[in-house]
Amino acid sequence: MARIERVSSTQPVPVRQAQLIDPGAFRLNAASAEELEVIGGVLSELGERKIEMQDRIGISNINAAMENAQREYQKEILTVPVEEHLSVLQKHRTNAMAAASQQKLSAGMRKFADNKIGIWADKFADDAELAQIKLIERDALIRVTDDYERALTEGSQEDIIEAEAFFDAQAKTSYTPAEAKVQKEKIEKRAVAQMEINAISAVHEAIETASDPETGTGNFAIATELAKSPLIPEPKQSTLRSAIKAARTARTNKLEEQREAAITKVNSDTIREYFNNELTVATLNERHAKGFIKDSDFKFMMTALTKKVPDDSDPFAAGRIRRAMASFKMGAIKRSEADSIILKDYPLLDGPDRSMVITDLEDIEEKIIAASKSNAYSEGRSLMSQRFVGIQSEEELIDIFKGAGLTDEQKKEINRQWRAEVNNRNLYERAVDDRFKEMRKEGISDVDRFKSESLKILLQYQRRVLLGLEKFEEAVSEEQRGIIRKKGLGFLGEIPIVFSDSSVGVATEFSIGVRIDGKETEIPTLVPTLTQSEFNIMVNDIIPNRKEAKEIPDSIVKKATAHAKKRIKAGQSPFAQKGEQKARSITIKPVSEMTTAEKQAELQRIRELKKLK
């Protein structure tokens, strides 16, 4: 008859009562059947206890995984933007679920664990969603606040009503009624202050419009009327009235100076035309009648025009002319003074001597200009680059480094300084050259004027050398690449920029130089025809990283050029004028009314604005 020899377990399990079974005493009878039933019960209990223990260990591991995921999630969200919290949560939730799936659990306990993980994840999903909603609401509140303030200062009554409605709607989700009232009062106070600023700016703009001697209207009545605005306090009105009076006086004086300069120039030009046999009696009479020709000079030229050229020069007249030209050459007298002196004796010269006088005068003038320019260049080199006088190339600079015991970093620093100073000096010389050309057109050949004008330019460029290297390089490269951030709002308005050094600013324009109709023309790149991706490249890369114009994608340059050509052809400036800015949208929904897609789009807009990856 078969017998049960041994009952054993492969794993140690706790039991309430240990039993020793003697196989020899185990018999198949009523008593042994009862004993077998007891053994079966023990085995069943051991199995249940094993499952219970596995569930306890599994749940404990799951709790630990959830706690670890929670800690890591809360730690990581401190270092990422609010709009990224959901994706961070999803990552840690996935990790917790993976840890849970590896645990051996009974079916009932598995369902319990999954439900527990779901509740945990949903709680943090709600928190992350709430944080994102607050972010959107905060940004929306800033935008409607700005729009309301702008409407109060610049908009029509309809604009104010619309902007106020959007502000009120958004304020309900962000403030208590009392807080909303306080915020509204602050906005209105700021708007009043801004309106005062705008009113004063309008007066200054009217003064500027009227003041310019060449392009100004001379009509200061508009500025006077604007200065009476009730938005401007009386003390400031008084200051503005004084400014208007001073501007009117300055314009009158400037016009008188220009009139005197114009008379001098026409008089000198007329004398030169006479010297070159290009002057007619009719032209001389016309200019004299308009007051451009001095009576004494008119008398000499009129007499000479109607008199025959002598066969031989008067030696005394020729001597006086030579002395006058010598004085002009030494800088003792100006070209206009030399012309007037020579004019008196010019009719006494024969043909060949007259030609020689003209040639000598022009030659002396060219040499004076060349010498003045050379002196200006020399002063610029000596004063702006004292450390690098005589160094003509990088190769010469490298030779100096040899044996100097400098580190690579020190060499790099010196090389940067040298290059910045060379570029700055080149810009100075170009500015001097341009100014001298302007003076030549104005008929100026005065050595002292050349010197004073070049000194003004020198001081302007020399100030840069005193800046720190970073600012010095930036100032030089800014002028080199022709990047000029125009005053005003540009076509796309004020654009918040987070720069590469983490500083925050506002960009309105980024301009470049291109050739249009055969000449170099400066044009804006932030134009309405850019796509969103092209716009993002400009405001998220080119501008914040202060890149050069040559690094702008061709597609943007082409669109900017086409836009500029179209405006130039229509007789407009390539740059945006007042009132041409693209209006900022104030149609912002309260977040509670946004769909999921709209929320994500708004978060993406904020992400791009902050340049968050």
pLDDT in tens, 249-306: 888 888 887 777 777 778 777 877 877 777 888 888 888 888 888 887 788 778 777 7
Is the model's pLDDT at 590 over the cut of 70?
no
Whole-Å CA distances, 84 to 79, 88, 132, 454, 499:
10, 6, 9, 58, 21
133, 161, 185 — which closes off a domain? Answer: 133
439-445: long-range pairs with CB below 8 Å, 24+: 440/369, 442/261, 442/265, 443/264, 443/265, 443/268, 443/269, 443/335, 443/336, 445/334, 445/335, 445/365, 445/368, 445/369
Phi, psi of 609 (to 5 degrees): -65, -40
> In terms of domains, do 506 and 544 share one?
yes
What is the DSSP-derived secondary structure letter of residue 471?
Answer: H
> In terms of domains, do 456 and 575 share one?
no
- CB atoms inside a 10 Å sphere around CB 513: 14
CA–CA gap between residue 217 and residue 208 (Å, rounded): 10
CA–CA gap between residue 455 and residue 129 (Å, rounded): 64
- Is position 246 within any domain? no
What is the DSSP-derived secondary structure letter of residue 313?
Answer: -
Domain carrying residue 123: 23-133
> In terms of domains, do 372 and 439 share one?
yes
168-173: long-range pairs with CB below 8 Å, 24+: 169/590, 170/137, 170/140, 170/141, 170/144, 170/588, 170/590, 171/141, 172/590, 173/137, 173/590, 173/591, 173/592
CA–CA gap between residue 396 and residue 400 (Å, rounded): 7
- Is position 383 within any domain? yes
Query: What is the count of structural domains for the chain?
Result: 3
Label residue 92 by pLDDT band (50, 70, 90): confident
Write out the DSSP string of 43-64: HHHHHHHHHHHHHHHHHHHHHH
pLDDT score for 41: 61
CA–CA gap between residue 550 and residue 553 (Å, rounded): 8
Taking the mean position of all CA atoms in its chain, how far away is CA 174?
Answer: 32
Better pLDDT: 542 or 152: 542
> In terms of domains, do 473 and 324 share one?
yes
> In terms of domains, do 320 and 378 share one?
yes
Q: Report yes or no: 267 and 297 within 8 Å, Cβ to Cβ.
A: yes
480, 510, 526 — which closes off a domain? Answer: 480
Mean pLDDT to the nearest integer, 88-96:
80
> In terms of domains, do 461 and 531 share one?
no
Least confident of 149-163, 237-251, 278-292: 149-163
CA–CA gap between residue 582 and residue 492 (Å, rounded): 5
pLDDT tens, position by position, 462-473: 777 777 777 777
Q: Report yes or no: 88 and 127 within 8 Å, Cβ to Cβ.
A: no
> Of 13-22, 162-171, 216-225, 245-254, which one has max mean pLDDT?
245-254
> In terms of domains, do 42 and 68 share one?
yes
Taking the mean position of all CA atoms in its chain, how far away is CA 569?
Answer: 28
> In terms of domains, do 316 and 426 share one?
yes
Label residue 583 by pLDDT band (50, 70, 90): very low
Better pLDDT: 230 or 122: 230
Mean pLDDT to the nearest integer, 360-386:
74
pLDDT score for 500: 58
The tokens for 163 are 């902007």
Mean pLDDT to the nearest integer, 592-607:
60
- Is position 81 within any domain? yes
Which amino acid would we find at residue 355?
S
Query: How close are the terminal C-alpha atoms of the chain, in Å?
Result: 80
Tokens 């041994």 -> residue: 6
Secondary structure of residue 608 in the 3-state scheme: helix
- Is position 240 within any domain? no
> In terms of domains, do 373 and 471 share one?
yes
> In terms of domains, do 451 and 554 share one?
no
- Is position 126 within any domain? yes
Tokens 């690579």 -> residue: 408
Mean pLDDT to the nearest integer, 357-376:
78
pLDDT score for 9: 47
Least confident of 35-49, 331-345, 434-448: 35-49
Taking the mean position of all CA atoms in its chain, how far away is CA 425?
Answer: 25
Label residue 497 by pLDDT band (50, 70, 90): low
The tokens for 172 are 């309900």
Better pLDDT: 237 or 374: 237
97, 115, 133 — which closes off a domain? Answer: 133
Average pLDDT, the chain: 74
Is the model's pLDDT at 454 over the cut of 80?
no
CA–CA gap between residue 556 and residue 527 (Å, rounded): 9
pLDDT score for 389: 64
Mean pLDDT to the nearest integer, 37-65:
72
- Is position 456 within any domain? yes
Mean pLDDT to the nearest integer, 77-103:
78
pLDDT score for 489: 60
Q: What percent of the chain has pLDDT over 90?
A: 1
- Would you say the pTM of this structure is higher than 0.85? no
Label residue 12 by pLDDT band (50, 70, 90): low
Secondary structure of residue 527 in the 3-state scheme: coil
**108, 123, 3: which is closest to 66 by C-alpha?**
123
Phi, psi of 315 (to 5 degrees): -60, -35
> In terms of domains, do 435 and 336 share one?
yes
pLDDT tens, position by position, 341-353: 787 777 788 878 8
Taking the mean position of all CA atoms in its chain, how far away is CA 564?
Answer: 20
Mean pLDDT to the nearest integer, 503-514:
69
- Is position 65 within any domain? yes
The tokens for 178 are 């009392």
- Is position 317 within any domain? yes
Which amino acid would we find at residue 317?
A
pLDDT score for 496: 63
- CB atoms inside a 10 Å sphere around CB 307: 10
Is the model's pLDDT at 324 over the cut of 80?
yes
pLDDT score for 585: 35
> In terms of domains, do 337 and 427 share one?
yes
